[in-house]
Chains A and B, each alone.
Chain A
Amino acid sequence: NAGVTQTPKFRILKIGQSMTLQCTQDMNHNYMYWYRQDPGMGLKLIYYSVGAGITDKGEVPNGYNVSRSTTEDFPLRLELAAPSQTSVYFCASSYEGVHEQYFGPGTRLTVT
């Protein structure tokens, strides 16, 4: 199993540009999450999904959108990039009701 994969690994965006961060898991987990991690800080939940077709806001959803059309994929969309969105983004997945989340390697995003 590849586990949780994220693309791209690095990206630089100009203010106002859009992009989609991709996340795929091959463990048949029904729960998936998107977090952002600012330098020296903890993880903030952006959005999460408990199954295909179901998404919900986390702590910091503003400026982001998600979709969950399949069990495997959970892309994160930034429509109008702002410098405040400069961060490292982690995708994670887990089985329903299980505390162990499996994290991807992260995407480092810089908005200038």
Chain B
Amino acid sequence: GESVGLHLPTLSVQEGDNSIINCAYSNSASDYFIWYKQESGKGPQFIIDIRSNMDKRQGQRVTVLLNKTVKHLSLQIAATQPGDSAVYFCAEQKTSYDKVIFGPGTSLSVIP
């Protein structure tokens, strides 16, 4: 069945370093992959998405990499800041009109 999961449940990073959050997915039919950030006590917030016909997409301080061969997705955050401390969810979607399936999340802690 469909599933999206994460390799590491928690990640601690020194301020200023780069962070890499990984995600494994099992549904090769998914066409879209999305990253969300959830700060404590708030609802998730969209960060970036990537379509399956791409292997890399860059945003502001973030880069998402997609490796369809091994069904792996990663979110790279450059120069991690204290405000980046949050839980990060990867999610997948078969088509842009289908429901979104969320993974369990990775908690990122930034050490000042």
Contact = CB atoms under 8 A, between A and B. Distances in A.
- A and B: interacting chains: yes
Given A96-B97, A99-B32, A42 B102 contact: yes
B100 A101 contact: yes
Interface residues of A, number: 25
Interface of B: 32, 34, 41-46, 49, 89, 93, 96-97, 99-105
Contacts of B34: 99
List 7 A-B pairs, minimum CB-CB distance, nearest first. A103-B43, A100-B46, A43-B102, A97-B96, A42-B104, A42-B102, A99-B49
A99 B44 contact: no
Contacts of B89: 42-43
B45 A103 contact: yes
A100 B100 CA distance: 10
Nearest to B4: A42
